[in-house]
Chains A and B, each alone.
Chain A
Amino acid sequence: MAELKYREALNRALFEEMRRDPLVFVMGEGIAERGGSYKVTEGLLKEFGPNRVIDTPIAEASFTGAGVGAALIGTRPVVEILFVDFTTLILDQIINQAAKYEFMSGGQGKVPMVLRTQGGAGNGLAGQHSQSLEALFYHIPGLKVVMPSTPYDALGLLKAAIRDDHPVIFIEHKLLYMTKGEVPAEEYVVSLGQADIKKPGEDVTVITYSYMTLKCLEAAHALEKEGIRAEVVDLRTLSPLDKKTLLESVSKTGRAVIVHEACKRGGVGADIAAMLMEEAYDELDGPVLRICGKNTTIPYNLELEKACVPSVAEIIAGVRTVL
C-alpha cells in the first residue's frame, strides 16, 4: 500500500495503461508540455513522446471528434476537456457520434474512447467553471459515466474505462485532486458498474458519488455518535447504474437519501428516486429524500457559492428527517 493523491492515482493509471497498450494515447489542451492543469498527465510526454501525448489547439469539438475517429479505427484515445463546463462544445461528437456509432452501424464499429474531464464548485470560479453536468451524459443511451471519489477508485476505474470498448465519460472533481488515499502497489482494475459501500449501516441508505461522498461520510460519522447508523453507498459509476447494490441496501434500511452536488432539477437523483419507487416500493418505510445543489448558476462570491451545494450540516439534518 502506498498513499497517493487522487491526481497521482489518475496519473499512474495513465502510465500503466499506456505502457500496457501502445494504442492508448492522450490528447487535450496543455496536457503534454505542461502536464495538464491538475498535473494528471505530468511526465507522459517524456516517456511516450508527442505522438501519443498530444497538445491540441483550443478546438474542443474537433479534437473530440478526432478522438471518435481515431477510436473507430482501433486506437484508444483518452481525450481531456479541461472543465466539464466546456463539454457543451463537444456534445454533437459525444451524443450523436460516439454514443450512437456502434448501435447505428449494427455493431460493425466501436468507439473505445475515454473523455476525461473535471467539474464541481468550490474554488470561486463562477458560473462557467463550476458546474456538475453529469446528468447530460447520464441521460444518453450509449454512454458510460464514471465519477470516482477516492484515489483507489480513480485509478482502478480509469484503467477499466480505458479498456472498455464503449465511450466513457470520466468526470473528476476539482476538489478531489489533492485528497489522499491508500492504493495498493500491485496492479488492479475496478470494474465499471459497481457501487461501493463506503460505510456500512442499518438505519438509512445514503446514495451519493464523487466529492459528495466525502461529505456524506463526514455526516455519517457524526450521525453515528447520535446512534444513527447510515450506510453510505458511493455509486462510482452512474451509468451503468449498480441497481443491485442500491436495492439490497434499501431493502435492509428501508430508507434512502440521495445526495449530489448537481442541481436538483433533472438530476441523477431524480432518476434513482424514481427507480427506487418503481422497484423497491414495498421495502421503503418512507419517501426518498434528495439533498442536491440549488437550481441556480454557481455564483462567484464564496459565501453564495457555498450556499449552492449541500453541506455536511444539511446532510445530517436531512438524514434525521427521514428516520
Chain B
Amino acid sequence: MANQSSAPKGAATGEAAVDEKILREMYRNVYATRQFELTCVTLYRQGLIRGYFHPYLGEEAIAAGACAAIGRDDYIVSTHRGHGHCISKGADLKLMMAEIVGRATGYCKGRGGSMHISSKLDNNLGANGIVGAGIPIATGAGLGIRVKGSRQVVIAFFSDGASNNGVFAESINLASVFQLPVIYMLENNHYAVSTPVECSAGDCNLANRGPAYGVPGVCIDGNDAEEVYLTTKQAVERARRGEGPTLIEAKTYRHGGHHVNDPGLYMDQEALASWKARDPVNLLRAKINDVSVKQIEAKVDAEVAEAVEFAKNSPEPSVEEFLASIADD
C-alpha cells in the first residue's frame, strides 16, 4: 500500500489560540485514555477481559479535542473503539473498568463490556457493536434536541469504514435537510480491520462527502488535539446557531491491529512509523509546562490504579438475580 497517506507535517491552526486550561483538560484525557487502555491490554492478557477490545491507541486526540469543545450537557455517540470517547466525555474510570472486566458495578452491570459502554450521566449515548449504527442514532439525538428546543449539540464519532455504509449517507442527508445540530466526526484511521481506505472508498478524501449533501466538510490532523478542538468548536457554534451539521474528517492511525489480538501485520509499516512519530500524547504534552504534566500524570496514574482495584474487588453479577430478572420475558 505505497500510497498510504503519511502523517501531516503539523497543522498551522492556532498554536497559542487555545487556553492553558483547555490544553490541560485535553492532556488529562489523552493521557488517561492511553494509560487506561495500556492497562486494559495487560488485563486482557491476564484473562480478566474477554471478548472484543478495540484499542483507541494512537487516536486519543480526536476524542479529547472534540469533547473539549462541548459541554457535559451535550451528547456523544461512540463506536466499537469507544474507550477514548467515553473517557473524554467524563466517564468514571472505575465504572468503565468494572464494565470491561464484566463486574456488577460496571456502567452496564457487566452486561455490555468494552464494546457497549454508555453513560447516561455524561450524556454518552453509547458505544456500538454494529459499525455505523451510531450515526443515525446521533442524528436522532439531534432531532430530539430540535423537538425539545434546547441548545445542545451531538457529536457522532465513527470511522472511515462506517462512512461506506448506507446509514452514513442517509443520516447526513437527513441532518442537512433538517439542519440538525450534529457534528459528524469521521475518525479516518485508514483501515477497516485490514482493509485500507484506498480499497474501500472511490474518493479517499472523505470530507468531500459533506458538500455532496450540502454539509460543510473539513479535513484535519486528528493527532493534533488543538486542531481537533478548534475545528469542532467552530462546528459546535454553527450548530448552536441553528445552521446545521458539519462533517469533520480527522486523519489518524491506529498504533496496532484492529483489536487486541490482531498483530496488524498488514499495516503499512512506514506510514505507521511516521504517525507514531507524531504520537498525539507526546504532541500535546510538549505544549504544556512540565509541572502541570507531572501533576496530571500522577493524578491519572492513581485513578487508573484505583479503577483496576475497584474492578477486581467488585462482585460478579449474580446469575440467580439475572435469571430472576428475565424470568417473565
Contacts and interface: CB of A to CB of B under 8 A. Distances in A.
A153 interface: no
Contacts of A123: 50-51
B107 to A, nearest CB: 11
Interface in B93-122: 102-103, 108, 110-113, 115-116
Interface stretch (B139-147, B177-185, B188-196, B290-298): B188-196
A59 interface: yes
B165 A58 contact: yes
A301 B110 CA distance: 6
Interface stretch (B6-14, B149-157, B244-252, B314-322): B314-322
A126 B111 contact: yes
A299 B195 contact: no
B323 A126 contact: no
A302 B319 CA distance: 10
B166 A126 contact: no
A29 B161 CA distance: 11
Contacts of A125: 51-52, 129
B317 A55 contact: no
A57 B116 CA distance: 23
A57 B166 contact: no
A129 B115 CA distance: 10
Given A129-B129, A300-B102, A301-B316, A29 B110 contact: no
A60 B161 CA distance: 12
A57 B164 contact: yes
A175 to B, nearest CB: 14
Nearest to A128: B129
Interface residues of A, number: 34
A300 B111 contact: yes
A126 B127 CA distance: 12
A295 B131 CA distance: 25
B116 A300 contact: yes
A121 B322 CA distance: 17
A282 to B, nearest CB: 34
A59 B113 CA distance: 26
A296 interface: yes
A55 B164 contact: no
Contacts of B199: 55
Interface in B270-329: 316-317, 319, 322-323, 326, 329
Given A58-B200, A85-B130, A126-B129, A300 B110 contact: yes
Given A126-B112, A128-B130, A307 B323 contact: yes
Contacts of A57: 161, 164-165, 192, 195, 200-201
B218 interface: no
Q: How large is the interface on B (under 10, 10 to 19, 20 to 34, 35 or more residues)?
A: 35 or more
A304 interface: yes
B319 A59 contact: no
B132 interface: yes
Contacts of B326: 294-296
A58 B194 CA distance: 12
A295 B328 CA distance: 9
A301 B111 CA distance: 6
A127 B129 contact: yes
B102 A58 contact: no
A202 B316 CA distance: 43
Contacts of A127: 111-112, 116, 129
A302 B129 contact: no
A58 B110 contact: no
Contacts of A33: 194-195, 266
A91 to B, nearest CB: 13
A300 B195 contact: no
Given A59-B166, A294-B323, A300-B110, A30 B194 contact: yes
Nearest to B128: A128
A304 B319 contact: yes
B162 interface: yes
Given A124-B51, A304-B317, A58 B131 contact: yes
A62 B166 contact: yes
Contacts of B165: 57-60
Contacts of B195: 29-30, 33, 55, 57
A177 B103 CA distance: 29
A303 B51 contact: no
Nearest to B322: A304
B317 A303 contact: yes
Given A57-B192, A59-B164, A300 B329 contact: no
A247 interface: no
Given A59-B165, A307-B323, A124 B200 contact: no
A304 B111 contact: yes
A318 to B, nearest CB: 16
Contacts of A56: 200
B113 A126 contact: yes
Nearest to A30: B193
Interface in A158-188: none
Contacts of B194: 30, 33-34
A281 interface: no
A299 B108 CA distance: 10
Choose among A57, A86, A300 the residue with the greatest number of B CB atoms under 10 Å from its CB. Answer: A300
A315 to B, nearest CB: 17
A301 B201 CA distance: 37
A290 B201 CA distance: 48
16 contacts: A30-B193, A34-B193, A34-B194, A34-B266, A55-B200, A57-B201, A58-B165, A85-B130, A128-B116, A129-B129, A300-B51, A301-B113, A302-B102, A304-B111, A304-B319, A304-B322
Given A30-B193, A58-B165, A59-B166, 9 more contacts: A57-B195, A57-B200, A59-B164, A61-B166, A123-B51, A125-B129, A128-B115, A129-B115, A301-B316
9 smallest A-B Cβ distances: which pairs? A124-B50, A300-B113, A128-B129, A57-B164, A124-B51, A57-B200, A301-B102, A301-B110, A299-B111
